Structure 1
Amino acid sequence: MGMMLMGWPVQAEALDVRVHEAPVRTVLAGLARSAGINLVIDDTVDGTVTMELHDVPAEEAIRVLAGSQNLLYRTDGAIAFITAGRVHDQARSCYTWKLHHADPDSVRQAAEAVAGSGHIGYHSDTNALVLHGSAQTAAAVDRLVQSLDVPVRQVSVEIEFLSLQTDAVKDLGISWDWTAMEGGPGHQAFLYTGQLRALESKGKARVLARPHLMAQNGREAQILIGDRIPVLTEHVTDGEVSRTTEYEDAGIKLSFTPRIHEDGSVTAHIRAEVGTPILVPELKAYRITTRRADTDVCMQPGRDLLIGGLISREEINNLRKVPILADIPVLGKLFRYHYTSKKETELVILIRSRAASSSPESVR
């Protein structure tokens, strides 16, 4: 702990002030003596302070110190006073900030943390934040609003859903043995775009959809390629069985939650889900089988991320018959042939993301 005051004991002269964890009362008294100021310090003033000021008038140094400790500095004739609780004693005014980008509730909650005893409100018609408080509180809230009310960064996401024949996947030499995918420099598991294009040209890969979406930084974006299917649900209450119909998503669903970094790379939480409706004849309703991939990856701008291993298996009932003869009672069975065929395909998802450029703009 120490304090050094350098300068002539004249109020107009500038001082250099260097203190480290010094008692606030001691520093204030020393500054007052150096400047020849008659200063009365309230008994409620306490605490320590660390500060370094160069070439400032003593009275300005006292004001800076008082402001940093939430104290009131006022003068009454030839005598100055330092008291605690400056916000309560200062004159209050009304200040407003019109918000352009940020969520009003989030900004208001943050502003309340720095407003102290100042009252923070929100005017929904004009999307404006309202403060009733002191000028110093308004300055603190203004700095906060300017730092928070900025355009939200966005990610441009291109997605491609492809259906591959299982033998085509083997031709690529891809193995989906991992339980959680990783991305980033050195991971080469996702460099199969060229081979997929070749399979597409040969008819072994089929593009199901090519959606494009924008995702805000830190917020989830979703896309569903499919439909909502009625699913029968049974409930047992006191031995009685009741059935209700609920609608569930069936098809391809993907959620993408990005976190944008300064270098333009994107860390994303990705969940890919494939729901296949299967008719249950005895219930005359559907059940949905689901395959899901859930991962966190680091994506470089313009690089493709590949998600696979989502295999679909279908059983298809087929009927072959000889026209006319197959419809003859009893004997027609000899001319009909029932068989079941199995179809297996694999869903592959290609994702390419790029941080969308946003030019800084003033919020005032």
Structure 2
Amino acid sequence: MKRQITYSRIVRWMLSVFFLLSLLSGCANKQDEVEADQFFKQWKTTAEKSKGYSPQSRRRTIKLPPRVLTVKEAEKQKSDKPLPTKKITMRMHETDVTVLLRALTRAVGLNLILNENVKGTVNIDIKDASWDQVFVSILNTQGLSYAWDGDIIRIVTHEDINRDLERLTTEQKIKTQKKDVELVEPLITQVVAVEFSDAKKLQENLSMFLSQNEKDQPIGSVMVDEHTNSLIIQAIYSDLERMLPLILKLDKPTPQILIEAHIVEASKKVAMELGVQWGGLYNSGDLWITPGANSSGVLDNTLSAGGIDPTSGNVFNSGGSGDILDKTSATGLTLGFALEDIGGSILAAQLSALQAEGKLNILSSPSITTLDNQEATIESGTEVPYQTVEDDEVNVEYKDAVLSLVVTPHVIGGNILKLNIKTKKDELDFANAVRGQPAINTKRANTNVLLYDGQTTVIAGLSKENSSKVNTGVPWLKDIPILGYLFKGTEDEDTLEELLIFITPHILGERFGDDMDESLMDDSSSESTPES
């Protein structure tokens, strides 16, 4: 009896220990699972937030170097030097013109040189007249002229002017090339760092702003230094005044766009359940999808719930009012997904739920970030080998069989995007194989579409037909051993699979940080070298 009690206690003790160890083990596993869940949750949150930003625009200046005076401008300043405007009163009768001119210049402190051919008499009676008007009037009445030589006024006759012109003409013929060099405005070299734009494209645009000489050849040049992505501009001062502000306007950061795509393969029936019906409209409760219309644009309309205009192709969410989007289709294979702020997470959740039910297959969910007006390419596939025979020599070459998506976004007005979308799907066709090498069937869809930031469009119509054999029979009876063969059979079934590509663009916001102001000084960003 005592032994039975002892054995009973031992068994209870062992069961208690086993239960305690199991409990501790379960808690440890649960703790590990909690830690693992927290770890993956942290990285999942980090991955979702790490979508990047658009670069922030900043104020930037490029200072022009001091202007170098040209020979023409210097000569112009000499002849255009202003005369004194002092008020004078004077009365003289039958006075020699040389005496009068000396008296006038002495009154205002000017130096005077008279030619020996300057002769004549003058009668003058003026009161409170401007000195320059009196001086020029006297010269005009005597057929004389004047020229500045520094601070000296030289009085010349018309014969002297003609003689000087003949001398200058002779010198010009002898020293034409030298004179051309002296009279041309000097070139200034300016180095400008290009930050965001393509320096080569800027070079092409800016070259059109260079002045031309008499032979229609550009004066100066615009070169690109690829190492520093800088422009080396050699131009006259007036051209630089036009070109540098253009660089500041063109060399600005453009928004970055995150392109999210969901590539889904589904049967025709499931595609209709999603709201897609080739050649018409289909209502699946809260989602509307329409084939591409012949017009494009964003219409900000409010329609009553459940309303639709089949003549125009406008569609909307039947659960309420929303913005209407018309799409432009180049091939008839584009479908517009008209949803108001659907959001990438909502779409992904809905597709994942349908995949869990076995109604569709999500081939991939790629995402890529690109700049405004820059092409983004997503491509997945394989290389197919095939043989070629040339001169009795067999060579193996490869062709690509891929599913590619090319998107070029353009931001309009800050929250609207114009997408140029190109899709291509290659399929291996073993039914039409040649010498065991499958043919490649290619389907393409090209379109332009307008979307709001965060809205989704669908590319559809890239379908294929699959043939397979399926087992049929009378339920229950077909499963009876041996006798079941009498109640079952096989049938050929043709299924049509749709390839749907959901595309959702997001405009990434700017990242606001430290002050980004910067002034490009001449010492660091430009080099001014007058050249004659």
Aligned to 2:455: 303
Distance in 1 separating the partners of 2:442 and 2:426: 4
Contact 1:277 1:286 in 2 (8 A): yes
Equivalent pair of 1:87/1:134 in contact (CA under 8 Å) = no
The corresponding residue for 1:351 is 503
Q: Which TM-score applies when normalising by structure 1?
A: 0.62
Residues 295 and 281 of structure 1: is their aligned pair in 2 closer, same or farther, counting only changes over 3 Å? closer
Counterpart position of 2:255: 153
Name 1:190's counterpart in structure 2.
337
Task: Find the partner of 2:207 among 112, 117, 129.
Answer: 112
Aligned 8 A contact 2:193 2:228 in 1 = yes
Determine helix, strand or coil for the equivalent of 1:94: strand
d(CA) in 2 for partners of 1:166, 1:282: 30
Aligned counterpart, 2:191: 96
**For residues 277 and 115 of structure 1, what CA distance do their matches in structure 2 show?**
55
Cα deviation digits, residues 303-338 of structure 1 (max 9, x gap): 1112222212234589xxxxxxxxxxxxxxxxxx99
Contact 2:467 2:493 (C-alpha < 8 Å) held by counterparts? yes
- Equivalent runs, 1:232-311 vs 2, <5 Å: 246-279=397-430, 280-311=432-463
Superposition deviation, residue 287 in structure 1: 0.9
One-letter amino acid of the counterpart of residue 369, structure 2? M
Q: Which amino acid aligns with 1:288?
A: I
2:388–2:394: 8 Å Cα contact kept in structure 1?
A: yes
Alpha-carbon contact 2:268-2:498 (below 8 Å) kept: yes
Q: Deviations over 1:175-196 (max 9, x none)?
A: 2224668674424851485865
> Which secondary structure does the structure 2 equivalent of 1:147 belong to?
helix
What is the rounded CA distance, in whole Å, between the counterparts of 2:508 and 2:182 in structure 1? Answer: 43
Q: Structure 1 residues 111 and 105 mapped into 2: Cα distance closer, same or farther (>3 Å)? A: same
Cα distance in structure 1, aligned partners of 2:293 and 2:389: 34
TM-score normalised by structure 2 residue count? 0.44
| 1:352 counterpart SS class | strand
C-alpha deviation, 1:253, in angstroms: 1.1
Structure 1's 121 and 167: CA in aligned 2 closer, same or farther, altered over 3 A? closer
**1:100-156 per-position Cα deviation (integer Å, ceiling 9, x unaligned):** 222121111222222321232222333221123333333322212212222233211
Q: Does 1:139 align with 2:290?
A: no
Instruction: Identify the residue that residue 55 of structure 1 maps to in structure 2.
Output: none
Between the aligned partners of 2:517 and 2:263, the Cα distance in structure 1 is 37
Whole-Å Cα distance in 1 between the matches of residues 394 and 519 of structure 2?
Answer: 55
Q: Which structure: greater helix fraction?
A: 2
Could you tell me how far apart the structure 1 residues matched to 2:242 and 2:256 are? 28
| Letter of the structure 2 residue corresponding to residue 112 of structure 1 | S
Please tell me whether Structure 1 or Structure 2 has the larger radius of gyration of its CA atoms. 2
Superposition pairs for residues 1-364 of structure 1, below 5 Å?
Answer: 77=150, 89-116=184-211, 117-177=219-279, 178=291, 184-185=298-299, 186-187=324-325, 189-191=336-338, 193=347, 196=351, 198-231=353-386, 246-279=397-430, 280-315=432-467, 342-358=494-510, 364=520
Deviates more, 1:128-137 or 1:348-357: 128-137
Deviation digits for residues 10-32 of structure 1, max 9, x if unmatched? Answer: xxxxxxxxxxxxxxxxxxxxxx8
Displacement of 1:256 in angstroms is 0.6
Q: Secondary structure, in 3 states, of the residue corresponding to 1:115? A: coil
- Paired AA for residue 126 in structure 1: T
Give 2:337's aligned amino acid: F
Shift of residue 353, structure 1, vs aligned partner: 0.3
Matched residues in 1 for 2:277 and 2:399: separation? 31
Shift of residue 269, structure 1, vs aligned partner = 1.1
| Cα 1:347–1:95 shift into 2, 3 Å | same
Amino acid at match of 2:270: A
Long gaps (5+) in structure 1: 1-31, 38-74, 80-84, 319-336
Deviations 1:157-200 (A, max 9, x none): 00001111222123345222246686744248514858655533
Take 1:184 and 1:352, find their aligned partners in 2: how far apart are those partners?
16
Query: Can you list the C-alpha shifts for 1:66-108, whole angstroms capped at 9, x where unaligned?
Result: xxxxxxxxx97479xxxxx999633333221112222121111
Q: What is the distance in 1 between the residues matched to 2:458 and 2:517?
A: 36
Q: Structure 1's 219 and 248: CA in aligned 2 closer, same or farther, altered over 3 A?
A: farther
Q: 1:348 Cα shift? A: 0.9
